[in-house]
Structures are given as C-alpha cells and as structure tokens.
Amino acid sequence: MEGLVKGLLDVALGGNQRDDDGTDERSRSTSWAQASIDIRQIWSLFYEFFIASDENWCLSIRSCPGERNQNWGSDVSRRPQKVANERYEGGYSQSHPEEEQGNDGWETVGRKPARKQQVRKDNWDEFKRPASEQVYSNEVEHNSAMEPTHDELNDLGKACNKLWELDYNRLTPGKDYEIDCGEGKKSYQKQDMAEGSLFTWMSEDVLRNPTISRFCSLLDNYNPHEGSKEQVTSQEKQEQAAFIEEICRTAPIKYLHKYLCAKGIVSEDFQEFKRLLTSLWFDLYGRGGTSGSSSAFEHVFVGEIKNRGEQSVSGFHNWLQFYMEEAKGRVDYQGYIFPRRRGETPDSETQLLTLQFEWNGVLKSVSSSLIGVSPEFEIGLYTLCFYMGGEDNYVQLGPYHVNIKCYRLGNKLGSAFPIAES
C-alpha cells in the first residue's frame, strides 16, 4: 500500500525523478507545485485501483445513512436509480455532467450519481387529440371466456379470478421487467432495507402497449397534494376518453360489461357503459375539505399527499406510477413488509407485493400493489368489487389470496387496493 502510494506520487512528480541534496529550493517548490496540480490524477488512479474495482465496497458506501435527498422532484436520489426524462429523444441515455459533479468539478466520493435513462413516449402527445381522431388497437375477438358463467355470477371470487385469467396484457417477470425486493422489515421500522431501486429493468416495449401508454399519459394530470382543487383541461378530458375507449377493447372490460349487464347494473348499450366507467373513475369529488380536489383514478393510481398533521401518502397503489416516479427520482423504495405467512418471502417473480417507500420525501409506511398487471385488469377488478362487493372482498387472483379493500365516499369510489392474505 505504502509503496503504491509512493509510486503514484512518483508518477505525479514526473516518473522516477528524485529530489537530491543538490536540488535548490526553487526546484523543490516547483516539484511540489506540480504535485499539487496533479493531485486529481493521483486520486483518479487511487479510485480506479481501490474503489471502482470493488462494486460491493461502493455499494456499502452508498448505503450509508444520512444521505437522504428530500428535495421535491429531485432527479438525484441517494441510491442509484434508473431515471426517466419527461421527453424521449432518440432512444439513448444521455449523460448529465452537471448532475454528476459538484460545482468545483469534483465527483462526490462514495455516492454514485443517478443515471438518466430515456423513456419512450412515442405518440403520447397524440392522446391529447379528440378521442374520435385517435387510432386504437383492434378489439379483442369475442369468445366464450368473456361470458360470465353461472358460478361466476354467484361467486365474486370466481369472477375476479376470471379477470386475472383474461388479463392477456399482464407482464411476465424476468421477460418484461425485473424487480429487486431488497430486504424485509416491519411497517414501523425506519431503516431503509433496500440498497437500490425496486425496478431494476423494464423492456421499452412495455410502454408501447396501447393501454399502458394511455394510462401513463394520464399520470401527470393531477396535483398530488390532497385538498388542492383540480383543473381538468379539455385535452385531459380527451386523454380520459381515449383511455376508456382503449381499455373497452380488451377482454377484462368486455367481461366486466357482460357481468354488470347480467346483474342489471348497466344496460347492454356499450356507450352507456363507457360513460359509467368515465364517471366512476374520473368525476371529481371532495377530499381533504376541498370540493373538486380528488377522483377515484387520482387516489387509487396516482396517489395523494395528506398535509393535515404529519404528512403522509394515501392511495398510490399502482405499479406503473411507482415505476415512473421511481425513474424520475421521486420515489425512494425502502423494502418490502414481511408477509403474514412465514416462508413466503417475495422475490423477483412476485406479482403481489407489500412495500414501504417515500414519495417526494413523504413516507408511505405500508402499500400493496399488483406488479405487472394491466390497467384494464385493475380497472375491471376494482369496478367489479365496487358494484358487486363490500368493503372486504376475499378473493383469489391466480396464485394469490387477496382481500380487495373497497371504500366508498357516498356513491363514489373512495379507494380500492389489494391486501395479501395468509
């Protein structure tokens, strides 16, 4: 170690030149001035040999406490995260030197800067055009699976599981995306038990999916502060109408319509059914003491920040919103909450996850999300439970035993989300 440092100094001072007794004072001062100039070169070599070569050591440095960034909307978090810019430009990652270095040009030791990854948003601006002028995917071909059976009409759990089976756009872990659950914790524990982001990778093709891309285009239409009155523009209404039109071409929503028709909730008029979905999910109502400040879509999928008393996050149960906000550096994933049943530790294949995170520096101590499911599946699931279920709806979705909580605000959908059951 001592020899290597000496060698580095020799390099900075000009190779093996030595400062003999015959060297005058002026030469000495010149040599040391050169050493001062080249100190950055010495550090760069030291970093390359001892730090950059040991990724695990770097990770341990990055996980040190006390580096939490709580700036609103900051793109630089204390952990390495994939970051998405608001606009896609050419499909490649761009470096941002001003974010990777301090004002003096020196890189902060032990803190890896956030990496910016462009997110494709092809044609998202076109979603703001009138719904009648937009291009939609073909309607799914009708088959017998979309007709509710007698058993399904008499058993909400079986109907919910049928929606799971009809979710043809559900993603496949490892193929379409990858998550790193990190370590587990109790909901009251304050430690951050995740070294990095929850989402470590996602295929660009995911955000090109028609229902997913239209869903994501809606996420920036809301003020996240509970009690802030929403101003819905004509373009945003067009985005809403286009989203409803798109999901109504999918199997889960067609099944939902057939089911509600059989139960006498809606007529067979499909246009009337679209209006019902639009009203249920997008009509504004009061929350936090202010009229017109919230909607079912905003609360369940986007999330809201309560400012009364101690700040907290409410709602925010959608994985796509989590991915987008984490990519922007606004979400800090803190680890999963231990499952109620021992031996069921979540992993990269898990698609029902109970987790803890901070959003814009505000804690969400417990939140459950269905990972990788399509927007049409969640809209169909929560709509079905709202009309046909109660506050607690114990169902099975594929391999998962779930309680779909459904809260009402008068005749409005106040909140809906899954809770993993043992």
Q: Which of 299, 328, 405, 412 is catalytic?
A: 299
Cα(247)–Cα(211) distance, integer angstroms: 6
Amino acid making up residue 175? K
Q: Which long-range contacts (CB under 8 A, 24 or more apart) does 301-304 make?
A: 301/215, 301/219, 301/378, 302/219, 302/222, 302/224, 303/224, 303/359, 303/364, 304/224, 304/225, 304/226
Q: Assess whether 225 carries a catalytic annotation.
A: no
CB atoms within 10 A of CB 207: 21
Q: Assess whether 299 carries a catalytic annotation.
A: yes
Q: Which of 317, 328, 405, 412 is catalytic?
A: 317
Q: Which of 162, 364, 405, 412 is catalytic?
A: 364
Q: Three-class SS of residue 334?
A: strand
Distances (CA, A) of 67 to 2, 61, 187, 261, 298: 32, 11, 21, 55, 31
Residue partners of 149: CB distance under 8 A and separation at least 6: 158
Q: Assess whether 364 carries a catalytic annotation.
A: yes
CB atoms within 10 A of CB 163: 26
Cα(198)–Cα(201) distance, integer angstroms: 9
Cα(288)–Cα(121) distance, integer angstroms: 33
Active site residues: 299, 317, 364
